[in-house]
Amino acid sequence: MTSPRLPVARLAGSVTAACILICAPFARAADQSTDATSEIADLRARLKAQRDLIDAQKRQLEAQDAQLREQEKRLDDLATRAGGAKPAAPVAAPATAPALAKPDAGGVSPQSQQAALSSPSLPTVGSRFDDIKITMGGGLRTTVNTTTARMQPDATPFFVFPKVNGVSEGTTKIDARLSSLFFSIEGAQLGDFKLGGSIYAYLFNGDLLSGLYGFYPGFAYVDATSERWRFAAGLQMDIFSPMMPTMVDRMSALAGSGNAGNSFKPQIRAEHTVPMGRDRIVVQGALSDAIASNFKPPTNTTVSNTPSDLLIVTENTGIPNIEARVAWIRGRPGEEGSWVPWPEYTIGLSGVSGKIRNFTVNSQFAASSVYNTQVSGVSLEASARIGRQFGIQGELYSGKALGQYLATVFQTTNGYHQAIPGHGGWGEMAWYWTPKWHSHVGMGIDTVNAAYISPTGFVSNRTAFLNLFWDPSPKTTLAVEGTWRRTVYGGLGENSGYSLMLSSELRF
């Protein structure tokens, strides 16, 4: 007998199967909807991550742009303080003794060195403080100098030696001491002032006349700079007579031939800029070290060849030199498509005043023959940019005992401890054939009062130059320069000669 439950079971199974068949598409649709929702959420997350990355990169670019603007502002401030003159020794520039003062006039000037800091390709050196940024740069420079007369030093001459019987004239020197290394330090922002500093050095030792290699600082200072003020302390370029000619031989750069100033001394300085539309007035003042203390054995001896004096001392008097400058400047380099890297014009007046002391210490260890020498000088400078291709600049100075300022043919006092008076100046004309090709021609002369000069002392020294620069890239400069020099001595007559310098430089 058939069970009555069987049709019911079959009916229930049929209904269940029908439900499965009917609901399956909806279940698949629900699963697909869930998958799509998950995929959309994933895409949204990816888009958000990409937007966050783009925003972060944008903020980073804005920060870099702000840094570049700040560096460009510092460059403008440096150009303002230097009166728009073309330097380097970083500088330089900066070359002191006697030409560290000429860190640059043809390859990389102190301004162009600072300008190079705005290049994002320069390496940033790590520091132990998060808010300190150190940027490193420099240049590898080789020169070849051939002369028709014996000049000193032979690599970057300042003057011509007297003729010596039996000694042939002329030398050739291959040199790399003008290679340089510099560090720029960016510190914290304190109110309106940005803290920072710079270190610049060449590959020669302190005695330029020796021809030896070493590591010599051109400048090393810390400063605090705002839009209108700058305060600095350390080894810096003179405020007195700051312009310099654009020469391939940027170490000498007419030092001892009319170009006073441009040496480097420890100093404390303050600077203020007063903007007036396209014009601005720059006022600078400094307290600087009068002279580096020097101790040397005496030249006096008794008949028994026993020194009658123990020591000859040259030192400052305890009162620093006072340097001051005021300049009226119009425009900035590069305005109106100009190729000449100077302001439209600059007119400046500067001066220096101070004292140095020298004496001897005798066998009783008592000071004798104490002399205080007054140092003083005044300088007038001017430059003008005419059109986009032509420029002219120069300086005139007058003073006494200015050997430490690379003037009066490096002479300060004579054998009677008298301050040597003198005057001089230089002028230069620049012509830019293209933005990458430019030539400069100029001349300078130093003259001192012959009544104060010994037979071996300098009466006058002059230099004329003509050069050609090629800057195939911002990192490379090739140049050639011809010079003529004539040096007159107090009792040894005069001598003159020509030189030809070739130079190649790769900056980094």
Please check the confidence at residue 407 and state whether its pLDDT lies above 50.
yes
As a whole number of angstroms, the distance between CA 264 and CA 89 comes to 9
Please answer whether residues 487 and 151 qualify as being in contact, where contact means their C-beta atoms are separated by less than 8 angstroms.
Answer: no
Residue 4 within a domain:
no
Mean pLDDT of the chain: 80
pLDDT at residue 26, rounded to an integer: 40
Domain count, the chain: 1
Residue 36 within a domain:
no
Residue 133 within a domain:
yes
**DSSP, res 19:** H
The domain of 474 spans 65-507
Please give, one letter per residue, the 3-state secondary structure of 253-287: CCCCCCCCCCCEEEEEEEEEEEEECCEEEEEEEEE
As a whole number of angstroms, the distance between CA 307 and CA 476 comes to 55
Q: State pTM to two decimals.
A: 0.74
Kindly state the average pLDDT of the residues 192-210. 85
Render 411-435 in DSSP notation, one character per residue.
Answer: --B-TT-PBPEEEEEEEEEEEESSS
75 pLDDT band, cuts 50/70/90, is low
Please check the confidence at residue 201 and state whether its pLDDT lies above 50.
yes
Element (H, E) at 18: helix 5-81
Residue 211 within a domain:
yes
Residue 60 within a domain:
no
Question: What CATH code is carried by the domain that includes residue 429?
Answer: 2.40.160.10
The more confident residue out of 180 and 302 is 180
Residue 22 within a domain:
no
Residue 236 within a domain:
yes
CA-nearest of 454, 446, 449, 448 to 485 is 446
As a whole number of angstroms, the distance between CA 330 and CA 469 comes to 26
- Among residues of the chain, what percentage have pLDDT more than 90? 51
Give the number of other CB atoms < 10 A from CB of residue 26. Answer: 9
Give the number of other CB atoms < 10 A from CB of residue 117. Answer: 20
Residue 304 within a domain:
yes
